[in-house]
Structure 1
Amino acid sequence: MSPLKTDASKAYWAFAALGPVALYGIIIGLLGVPFFQRQALYAHKINTLWWNDVKVPEKWGFAKNQVTPFTLPTADGVTLYLWHILPLGTYVQHEAALSRAEPSALHNHASSEAFKLLTEDPEARLIISFHGNAGHVAQNTRAPQYRLLSNMHPKWHVIAIDYRGYGHSTGTPTEEGLITDASTLVDYALSVLNMPPSRILLLGQSLGTAVAAATAEKYSREKDMDFASVVLVASFSSLPTMLANYSLAGFVPLLKPLGAIPSVLNGVLGFVVDKWRSLDRLAALATQTRERDGRLRLTLLAAADDWDIPCVESVKIFDAVARASLQHGHEMDPGRFLEWKDERTDVRDQDAFKITWQGDGDIVIVHEQFAYGGHNDIMVYAPLAQAVMAAFES
């Protein structure tokens, strides 16, 4: 073989070996830029609006005018797009009028029949749903989830929000922005819908768990406010912590290779702009509630076969919040804490269990791991329905 061919062969194999490394470096470098990072985190441009317009809810199996689309303005100039889903039992009672009603203007929810059926019923309950990343208000398992919840009880209404940048909502998503969006909706429920917090349940899935956790902590800290319940499905302790061990589809590691050099991994994680520290916020929520003798009902749900967010993330959150719910919880010996957990754990299968934890005062934390459901299907499985029933029927 000629020296020229030998050199070419070496160059080829060198490129073949270094090419993936270089590509990986480029990807990591791009993710360090806030714009690209937020595009990847929120994935708000990935949706099916081109062929499935959410302005026609009947496409997702709802009755005529069972869903009322409406908009809300935020204090910083964003317009949010939302759905108000009537409970099917209430819809059936008023079907003749509702099916013939003309749709109200998007900006005038108060003129709709659905608004009146919610605000004029002293026994009505409201589920505020915060969805995960990507898609729009009805994408993936979201519409089936709303149908499940609205079919459960004739008094249980659902309002689902598309955060800024999602679906027909304007703006661009950021951590501060999404918390503003959630606060805008909660303020609307409290002041315009006249719903007391004791009749409002905050429900979050995936990214939505971080939004719901931030919202519950904010209203506890600023207004001493307790909601009927906070139900979080597929939650994560914080974005940097989760990313350190995250694998795409459960198989392709993102930052795990950098774990071999901790200083490099920590340096990369330092560039994460939206931290979403749910563990810290929920622990603070438990502490605030305990110190002011308030009421907290928190449910953490996770599927053992979730390939997107490992169920160990919910374990981390539960441990931190359970300790914070006790006056001397942080001083408790780790071995003794595990004994307390074991005493309160109902093991249901190899990968399934349910823990019911009573903190000091009126604090109850439930952590349920279900064997099945993955990242999205769990939203239409029995544990979610049971959590909502437990919250409202208690």
Structure 2
Amino acid sequence: MPALQPIFTKAYWVLASIGIAWATFILLLINPTIQRHSLYAHKINTNFWHNVSNPEEFGFAKGQVQPFWLDTADGEKLFCWHVLPLDVYLENEHELVMAATTGEVAEELKGTLGEKLLRRNGESRVVVNFHGNAGHLVQGWRPSTYRSIAGIPQTHLLTCDYRGFGLSTLNNVPHIPTETGLITDAISLVSYIQTDLKHPSTRTVLLGQSLGTAVTAATALYFADPTSANLPKDIVHPDSHAKGKAFEGFAGIVLVAPFRDLPSLLKTYRIGGFLPILRPLLGYPRILNWISAYIIDTWPTLLRLQSLLSHSLSTPHQSLHMTLLHARNDGDISFRESESLFAPLQSLMLAEEGTSATEERRSIHGEERVRRGAFAYKKVEDAKGERTVELEVVRFGGHNEVVGWTQVSLAVRRAFERKSLRPGLDVE
């Protein structure tokens, strides 16, 4: 037994060192600058060896993607992509290939060949994609999302890097991404689509993943109710937004791996599915609450979705079709976050007369797997079918990869075609 003492001693100091390092990291997060750098991780990207201005480098056909700059309402320049659907590309392949200029970025989308193809088709549809934190718009699994959406007929995809991400500028104080800044970027893009490109919101789907779901929720609320108390007061409004006609709602809102709000998320969030942030403090509520009080950008998605739904219910002409989708094996954000988002929205809907609710939990592996949430589908719908909220928990896909999988592209298709999921047997 005495021979084991050196081993126990070394193990003790290793664990103590890990604990001290973790505690130091948590205390450093109290600093606003360090906190935002850690949250947005905008400096972590592969721009050193990837040329995001050359879409062919990421598996796209020549001329299928048009990189362009977008001016935001507060003077930032965002680097963006316009991805053409494959059916449109195939019909115009020769013209697109001849017009393609590798490595060049258009000053704006308007006037480009891709934009002309979008506008001349009266049945064209647009998916606006908001990615999560870290990296740039084509880092990691993100290109697979664009390729998946490009397979949907007549469906164009537009996506931008937020300020400070990738090649996008970061000129405004405090010269670091903020909640207000990212929301301003998002509403600038959607406003540009609606006003400059003259594309209606009723043929537009907002798609967000991870942090992008919080951006999506805030953006959807802004266009439904720009004066909402649940939006930051210092958002810079696009000049053209107030001139538009009454907002009729988006074709759909698809949130992949969403969360209720940042303080709640950090209690269970694990970096890379492994390293916890505040989870070790769950047994120490006073310390946990003290640290949580220092979180600057709280991203209250649940409050914003409740406001969005309430506003839609009180506005006769404003439809709302929302899908929450989460992989059960998401190691970063638990699928319980999506369930916690859905429950209050369902209660809000069920308070209205004529609302119906549906729930499916299926598995060929027995009741235990069902209780664990191997597969789940829930839906709540108003009497006229003008407002629906759906929750789909799929079994695989993890945190990042799932957004490029079939389940997400199907959710987008259903949003455009106003069809609901009809769950079948959950088989392997």
1:309-328 correspondence runs (5 A): 309-327=333-351
| Matched letter for residue 378 of structure 1 | V
2:232 is aligned to: none
Aligned equivalent of 1:179, options 170, 183, 186 = 183
How far off its partner does 1:323 sit? Answer: 1.6
Alignment partner, residue 189 of structure 1: 193
Match of 2:5 in 1: none
Contiguous gaps of at least 5 residues in structure 1: 1-10, 330-336
Do the aligned residues in 2 keep the contact of 1:290 with 1:360 (CA within 8 Å)? no
- Contact 2:186–2:219, Cα closer than 8 Å, also in 1: yes
Candidates 269, 273, 276, aligned match of 1:253: 276
Q: Spell out, residue by residue over 1:95-150, the C-alpha distance to the aligned partner (whole angstroms, 9 max, x if none).
A: 11110115475213222100100112110000000001111111111111111111
- What is the rounded CA distance, in whole Å, between the counterparts of 2:164 and 2:30 in structure 1? 21
* Aligned position for 1:273: 296
Letter of the 2:203 partner, please give it.
R
Scaled by the length of structure 2, the TM-score of the pair is 0.83
Counterpart contact for 1:130–1:204, Cα < 8 Å: yes
One-letter amino acid of the structure 2 residue matched with residue 94 of structure 1:
N
Measure the CA separation in 2 of the matches of 1:33 and 1:195.
Answer: 42
Equivalent in the alignment of 1:161: 160
SS of the residue 2:22 aligns to? helix
SS in 1 for 2:391: strand
Aligned length: 375
**In the TM superposition, what is the alpha-carbon distance from 1:386 to its structure 2 partner?**
1.2
Name the CA shift for 1:191/1:224 in 2 (closer, same or farther; >3 Å): closer
Residues 1:280 and 1:96: Cα distance change in structure 2 (over 3 Å) = same
Give the whole-Å Cα distance in 2 for the aligned partners of 1:49 and 1:137.
11
Q: Is the 8 A contact 2:148 2:405 kept in 1?
A: no
Name which of 91, 94, 97 aligns with 2:95: 97
Deviations 1:59-109 (A, max 9, x none): 111111110000111122211010000111111111111101154752132
- Structure 1 residues 308 and 55 mapped into 2: Cα distance closer, same or farther (>3 Å)? same
Query: Once superposed, what is the RMSD of the aligned Cα atoms?
Result: 2.3
**1:60 and 2:58 aligned:** yes
* Aligned pairs (5 A) from 1:294-313: 294-313=318-337
CA separation in 2, counterparts of 1:310 and 1:235?
A: 9
SS at match of 2:362: strand
One-letter identity of the residue aligned with 1:206: S
Question: Relative to structure 2, which stretch is displaced further, 253-262 or 74-83?
Answer: 253-262
CA distance in 1, matches of 2:129, 2:351: 32
CA distance in 1, matches of 2:267, 2:192: 37
Question: For residue 408 of structure 2, what is the amino acid of its counterpart?
Answer: L
What is the deviation of 1:366?
1.0
Tell me if structure 2 keeps the 8 A contact 1:174–1:274: yes
The aligned residue for residue 110 of structure 1 is 110
Q: Which one of the candidate residues 397, 407, 418 is aligned to 1:373?
A: 397
**Preserved contact between residue 58 and residue 64 of structure 1 (Cα < 8 Å):** yes
CA distance in 1, matches of 2:195, 2:59: 31
- Counterparts of 1:61-80 in structure 2 under 5 Å? 61-80=59-78
Identify the match of residue 359 of structure 2 among 322, 333, 345: 345
Partner of 2:224 in structure 1?
220
**Structure 1 CA distance for aligned equivalents of residues 82 and 120 of structure 2:** 15
Q: Distance in 2 between matches of 1:328 and 1:359?
A: 8
Helix, strand or coil for the counterpart of 1:235? coil
Aligned pair in 2 of structure 1 residues 263, 89: CA closer, same or farther (>3 Å)? same
Check whether the contact 1:325–1:360 (CA below 8 A) recurs between aligned residues.
Answer: no
Contact conserved, 2:64 with 2:96, CA < 8 A, in 1? yes
Q: What does the per-residue CA deviation read over 1:331-364, in whole Å, with 9 as the maximum and x for residues that have no partner?
A: xxxxxx9xx86xx112233311211211365211
Aligned residues of 2:179 and 2:299 also touching (Cα < 8 A): yes
2:306 matched to which residue of 1?
283
Residue type matched to 1:184 in 2?
S
Q: Is the 8 A contact 2:221 2:304 kept in 1?
A: yes
Cα 1:135–1:291, aligned 2, differ >3 Å: closer, same or farther?
Answer: same
- 1:20-70 Cα shifts (integer Å, max 9, x gaps): 443222111111111111111111111111111110000111111110000
Percent identity over paired residues: 38
* Superposition deviation, residue 261 in structure 1: 1.8
Deviates more, 1:282-291 or 1:221-230: 221-230
- Residue 16 of structure 1: how far off its partner (Å): 5.9
Q: Which has the higher helix share?
A: 1
Residues 245/105 of structure 1: CA separation in 2 closer, same or farther (3 Å cut): closer
Matched residue, 1:85: 83
Give the secondary-structure state (helix, strand or coil) at the position aligned to 1:152: coil
Whole-angstrom CA distance in 1 between matches of 2:42 and 2:128:
20
Give the AA of the match of 1:80.
Answer: L
| Alpha-carbon separation, structure 2, partners of 1:299 and 1:143 | 22
Q: Secondary structure, in 3 states, of the residue corresponding to 1:135?
A: coil
Q: Does 1:205 align with 2:209?
A: yes
- Aligned partners of 2:161 and 2:56: how far apart in 1? 18
In structure 2, do the counterparts of structure 1 residues 260 and 126 end up closer, same or farther at CA, with 3 Å as the change threshold? Answer: same
Structure 2 unpaired stretches of 5+: 1-8, 171-175, 227-245, 364-368, 419-428
1:310 maps to a residue whose letter is S
| Cα displacement (A) at 1:12 | 9.2
- Between stretches 373-382 and 242-251, larger displacement belongs to 242-251
**Could you tell me which amino acid in structure 1 is paired with residue 409 of structure 2?**
A
TM-score by length of structure 1 reads 0.90
Deviations 1:305-331 (A, max 9, x none): 0001100000011011112224469xx
For structure 1, which segment, 98-107 or 279-288, has the greater mean C-alpha deviation from structure 2 after superposition?
Answer: 98-107
Q: Distance in 1 between matches of 2:115 and 2:350?
A: 41
Give me the whole-angstrom Cα distance separating, in 2, the residues matched to 1:40 and 1:367: 30
Q: Distance in 1 between matches of 2:15 and 2:331?
A: 29
* Contact 2:208/2:255 (8 A) holds in 1: yes
